[in-house]
Structure 1
Amino acid sequence: MFDYDAELARYHEHLWEALDVRPGNRVLDIGCGTGQITRRAARAASPGTALGIDISDPMLTQARRQAETEGLANLDFVRADAQTHPFPPGQFTVAVSRFGTMFFADTTAAFANIARALRPGALFAQLVWQPRDHQQWDTEIRAALAPGRSATTSTDKTEAAFTLADPDVATSALTTAGFTTVQVTDVREPVYYGPDADHAQAAVLHLQPARDLLSGLTPAATEHALARLHTMLATHTTAAGVWLDSRAWLITARRR
């Protein structure tokens, strides 16, 4: 399983600072993955609670296992789509999403469903990717594995990651869905792929978009593509590991 917590470690702190979780809060973590934010929110909100929601069974299994290891009892995880899940109305005082909201089929409908789950005045903080030409993790991996291939083909699995790259689109969807005081902040941090090029390449190949770029290649072409990938990752290797540049929007809003 790809380690998104390690990849996004630099972004995690920006998002956490924006949340300002207090004791007694009821926190909703949308697209919670393995539950890193859910667990931290549960500790900060106690005696309040935290709920993580995601569609990935493997990630939720790991999230539950880690929460049990840490002895956290004031949190829960549910496998469901936050766009349509019937949350109890007005249950939560804080909502958060770390690079999860871009993948909704209907962003406005999803934000409206989240708004119904929040109390008036509740904070909703999310991180979303800026346009793909600001993302080395997309442009350089793509250039290594499939040089010359268009980034906007109908089979491009990463396209959905940029549906909220235009802050005006995100602001419009949030406002229509029942949020106000939308604020958008530019955040630039590198993302982590491993301690060296070998580990980084193995991590990249856990990602479905990378595997898709290799699909259909001959064995010789695959070998060349992997060699280009390794060379590229080696150029981004530092004493602290392999890092690729990226940029995101930190978007906050309040439930009307």
Structure 2
Amino acid sequence: MTVRVDPTNSDQLTAWDGDQGAFWADHADRFDEGAAGYHQRLLDAAGVDPSDRVLDVGCGTGKSTRDAARRAAHALGVDLSSRMIEEARRRAERDGITNVSFEQADAQVHPFPEAAFDLVISRHGVMFFGDPDKAFANIATALRPGGRMVLLTWQPLARNEFASTFRALFAAGKPVPEPPPTGAHPFSLSDPDRVRALLTGAGMTDVELEAVSEPVWLGHDVEDALAFITARQASQLAELDEEAKARVVEAARVDIARHVGEHGVRYQSAAWVVHATKA
């Protein structure tokens, strides 16, 4: 299948429809468990109505889409990753959910029907657009007047221990630059002023950001979490010699051991729940 992709998102297509998307599809349950606290926050904030037509942007393997569909008239999930879309469809069929559909699409340019949806949601899926102004304008056209948008985006890196810790450890002593204020990366929508400007520019009103904090679950125990983290950081590890690699892995093991509790390995994190209404 050929996906229509904005040129600014070509790198994202390569990543998400390649190894990165495959990794997320293969570890879907772990990623869903890791974000479980935020998942419920999103559903509560969305307040899905039985008559709602829901669009889930950056749906991944579709848990948020399926759970929205259980409460809605219909839910559509879109994502750049063909592997994750395939997995989302498989899980919907497994669960017997018939009022849900999934499509591999670039939400920045996909020709959504105008005013076709009552609610747009996204669980950490809207931070990766090459041209966010264009993306949010396109997504907003899919909302009916008075329709709502409820998004989860990360707060700044410094407030997200689960990311900042391993970002530093796997740099193996090299300087770790702060994420740029713009660009396609997990923290690109961490600045509330930028979020308000983007959504207002797209025709949304009443833009509000609610600060929330939940632990991110990384594994059942030290070795389980370490195996997951080292697999996720495999490309960084591959750049190190054997001595440096062993040193980094051991440092990660020690840090993970400090975060083991009754519910497994958990690191602190912080996000925004973003609310907005279509004018």
TM range (shorter): over 0.9
Per the alignment, residue 29 of structure 1 pairs with: 56
Is the 8 Å Cα contact of residues 144 and 232 (structure 1) preserved in structure 2? no
Per the alignment, residue 32 of structure 2 pairs with: 5
Give the whole-Å Cα distance in 2 for the aligned partners of 1:254 and 1:196.
Answer: 42
Match 2:204 to one of 179, 195, 209: 179
Is the 8 Å Cα contact of residues 53 and 118 (structure 2) preserved in structure 1? yes
SS at match of 2:231: coil
TM-fit CA distance, 1:24 = 1.5
Query: Alignment length, in residue pairs?
Result: 249
Give the whole-Å Cα distance in 1 for the aligned partners of 2:236 and 2:178.
Answer: 11
Is the 8 Å Cα contact of residues 196 and 237 (structure 1) preserved in structure 2? yes
Is the 8 Å Cα contact of residues 34 and 60 (structure 1) preserved in structure 2? yes
Deviation sequence 1:209-229 (CA, Å, 0-9, x none): x23432321011111111111
Change (3 A) 1:83 1:254: same
Q: Are positions 1:58 and 2:83 aligned together?
A: yes
SS at match of 1:103: coil
Per the alignment, residue 118 of structure 2 pairs with: 93
Q: Are positions 1:252 and 2:261 aligned together?
A: no
Aligned ranges 1:186-197 → 2 under 5 Å:
186-197=211-222
Is the 8 Å Cα contact of residues 168 and 176 (structure 2) preserved in structure 1? no
What is the one-letter code of the residue matched to 1:97? Answer: S
Give the whole-Å Cα distance in 1 for the aligned partners of 2:33 and 2:219.
Answer: 8
SS at match of 1:72: coil
Change (3 A) 1:153 1:94: closer
Q: Are positions 1:19 and 2:46 aligned together?
A: yes
What is the one-letter code of the residue matched to 1:246? Answer: S
For structure 1, the 5+ residue unaligned runs are none
What is the one-letter code of the residue matched to 2:249? Answer: L
Give the whole-Å Cα distance in 2 for the aligned partners of 1:84 and 1:151.
Answer: 33
SS at match of 2:169: helix
What is the one-letter code of the residue matched to 2:237? Answer: L
Per the alignment, residue 133 of structure 1 pairs with: 158
Is the 8 Å Cα contact of residues 145 and 228 (structure 1) preserved in structure 2? no
TM-fit CA distance, 1:64 = 0.7
Give the whole-Å Cα distance in 1 for the aligned partners of 2:165 and 2:80.
Answer: 29
* TM-score (normalizing by structure 2): 0.86
Give the whole-Å Cα distance in 2 for the aligned partners of 1:241 and 1:159.
Answer: 31
Match 2:70 to one of 43, 63, 73: 43
* TM-score (normalizing by structure 1): 0.93
Per the alignment, residue 236 of structure 1 pairs with: 259
Deviation sequence 1:147-194 (CA, Å, 0-9, x none): 43333389xxx9711111100000000000110000111001110101
Q: Are positions 1:149 and 2:174 aligned together?
A: yes
What is the one-letter code of the residue matched to 2:109? Answer: T
Give the whole-Å Cα distance in 2 for the aligned partners of 1:151 and 1:99.
Answer: 23
